[in-house]
Structure 1
Amino acid sequence: MQKDISVIISTYNSPEWLRKVLYGYNTQTYRNFEVIIADDGSDERTQKIIEEIQKEVFFPILHVWHEDNGFQKTIILNKALLASTTAYILMTDGDCIPREDFIEEHIKYREEGYFLSGGYYKLPMNISKSITKEDIFSGQCFDLSWLKKHGVHHSFKNSKLYNNSFKSWLLNYLTPTTPSWNGHNSSGWKSDFLAVNGFDERMQYGGEDREFGERLINLGIKAKQIRYSTVCIHLDHERGYVKPEMIQKNLMIRKETKQQKKTWTEFGIKKKQLI
């Protein structure tokens, strides 16, 4: 049967985190999806994990990989986008475990002329490490009482884990946060992504997802806030790949996109042909 939605998961040398994330997709209530791993040059450990998981889960997994040449997430995301087989695409990261209704909620709120902007609930390292396959399959790693037993403190951010549709709707409506394209939890139509020429491949870490969303908005696509409806928990990790020069370059590209109201990047999926 033709799949209805593609889930693109970006990863780089975090095989055990990716394992937990893929277990999360095996719990999904909405099952008509494919998973595409956008792998920014991981070593053979990630390939091995994917081969193991493929034998356990119900959904198909396509591993899109290129050689490691520094932080090139935008390039591998464009390759994964082209490899997808569906009209609708959800993008997330290999450190974000989805709750069982994650894809179902994206399907529920999708609408032509919009992209969906979700969020995440960040976990400390000790809980990130201790979560087991059983914790994911049972759903207890999303339960606030379970998390508090493991050291999570009282916070308004805990409301991101509410399993109540009215409360989630109300918080989506009331939140002052502007909806934007968030690479850990956003979805939209493949035709719209192609209309802006995908991600700008000049960009490395720091705002590359936001710039993609800004071009979508410049195109006339509206952003819909669903950060309290689509629940995923973010596993902690170091960010040794972050460099100040990356941030500065990306800020300049974003500034240009905003000032010129760009809808297209010349450095995306389609490249200028040199004469």
Structure 2
Amino acid sequence: MTVSLIISTYNWPEALELVLLSVAEQSVMPDQIVIADDGSDARTATIINSFKHRFPIEHVWHEDNGFQKTLILNKALRVCKTDYIIEIDGDIILHKHFVKDHLAAAQKGYFVQGSRAMIGETLSKISLQQKRLSFSCLTKGMTTRFNAIRFPLLSSLFKTDPCSSHNVKGCNLAFWLEDYVRINGYFNGFTGWGWEDYEFAERLINSGIKKKRLKWAAVGFHIFHPLSSRANFKPNELIYRETVNNKMWHRSPGFHEVAGI
């Protein structure tokens, strides 16, 4: 089984540098690393280029036209050549066994939601300055200590509704590429932030793919930042509700509509 790590980013090269430093320390390296760049300026390209001597990175970029995360993810997935996909945001520092844990949890017929531990505002500022990569549930300044625990032997104790898209977060998500392609990937009709990962998960579930919750394994540490604009929250929620109510598993435009870009 081969795996790609997809990292979405937008104009925060300082955070992306920490993420890539944590990738370099993985106990199991992904076969492919793709940056899904939603229109960042040249600073992000500079950071990415500085890592190319450590491991191959593919940088998929389009012009900045507002929040278009779903579109750039679909473009990034067009270049993936692996069986399995791990998707993270460009503000998620990875535990050194992050990829290893996700591969251990991979199972046909399932997508996997990993854990996100929140780094507090003060600790985040210090970590960015000092390029800190190591965190745990005992680290002073963590705001969600429970999610910072890594104890994969007990991970199976945590159960979730396998047919619920509630609380799915694209910042730490894994799925089979063939499942992604079949449901036409992310829906490009979203404008601005909100609901795109819930809607994607709902279509996976409607297509017969179940959700697996991975707790105390595949831990990602989220760097604090102010909340994104919620201006399109309600219109985006209506798209999600339509998918739920009509049990939709395929939407256009999506992955196939960005072919050739």
Alignment TM-score, normalising by the size of structure 1: 0.86
Counterpart for residue 182 of structure 1: 169
Does the alignment pair 1:95 with 2:91? yes
Counterpart for residue 198 of structure 2: 210
* Contact kept in structure 2, 1:169 and 1:228, CA below 8 Å: no
The structural deviation recorded for 1:127 is 1.1
Counterpart for residue 136 of structure 2: 143
Counterpart for residue 163 of structure 1: 150
SS at match of 2:159: helix
The structural deviation recorded for 1:158 is 1.3
* Contact kept in structure 1, 2:70 and 2:186, CA below 8 Å: yes
The structural deviation recorded for 1:45 is 0.4
The structural deviation recorded for 1:185 is 0.5
SS at match of 1:92: strand
1:173-252 → structure 2 map (5 Å cutoff): 173=159, 181-203=168-190, 204-239=192-227, 241-244=228-231, 246-252=232-238
The structural deviation recorded for 1:32 is 4.1
* Contact kept in structure 1, 2:36 and 2:76, CA below 8 Å: yes
Does the alignment pair 1:267 with 2:247? no
Does the alignment pair 1:41 with 2:44? no
**TM-align CA RMSD:** 2.2
Question: Residues 169 and 248 of structure 1: is their aligned pair in 2 closer, same or farther, counting only changes over 3 Å?
Answer: same
The structural deviation recorded for 1:247 is 0.8
Identity of aligned residues (%): 37
Question: Residues 229 and 267 of structure 1: is their aligned pair in 2 closer, same or farther, counting only changes over 3 Å?
Answer: same
Give, in whole Å, the separation in 1 of the partners of 2:221 and 2:38: 22
* Contact kept in structure 2, 1:24 and 1:98, CA below 8 Å: yes
* Contact kept in structure 2, 1:6 and 1:90, CA below 8 Å: yes
The structural deviation recorded for 1:33 is 2.3
Counterpart for residue 51 of structure 2: 53
Question: What is the aligned residue count?
Answer: 254
* Contact kept in structure 2, 1:117 and 1:179, CA below 8 Å: no
Listed as ranges, the gaps of 5+ residues in structure 2 are none
Give, in whole Å, the separation in 1 of the partners of 2:21 and 2:181: 30
Question: Residues 134 and 49 of structure 1: is their aligned pair in 2 closer, same or farther, counting only changes over 3 Å?
Answer: closer
Listed as ranges, the gaps of 5+ residues in structure 1 are none
* Contact kept in structure 2, 1:119 and 1:184, CA below 8 Å: no
Give, in whole Å, the separation in 1 of the partners of 2:107 and 2:229: 35
Does the alignment pair 1:124 with 2:120? yes
Question: Residues 162 and 112 of structure 1: is their aligned pair in 2 closer, same or farther, counting only changes over 3 Å?
Answer: same
Deviations 1:66-104 (A, max 9, x none): 000000000000000111110110101000001011000
The aligned amino acid for 1:263 is W
SS at match of 2:78: helix
Give, in whole Å, the separation in 2 of the partners of 1:164 and 1:227: 8
Counterpart for residue 18 of structure 1: 16
Alignment TM-score, normalising by the size of structure 2: 0.90
SS at match of 1:173: coil
Give, in whole Å, the separation in 2 of the partners of 1:116 and 1:47: 30
Question: Residues 97 and 19 of structure 1: is their aligned pair in 2 closer, same or farther, counting only changes over 3 Å?
Answer: same
* Contact kept in structure 1, 2:114 and 2:215, CA below 8 Å: yes
Pick the structure with greater CA Rg.
1
SS at match of 1:144: coil
Give, in whole Å, the separation in 2 of the partners of 1:110 and 1:200: 24
SS at match of 1:83: coil
The aligned amino acid for 2:250 is W
Deviations 1:193-239 (A, max 9, x none): 01110111011311101100100000000101103311010001123
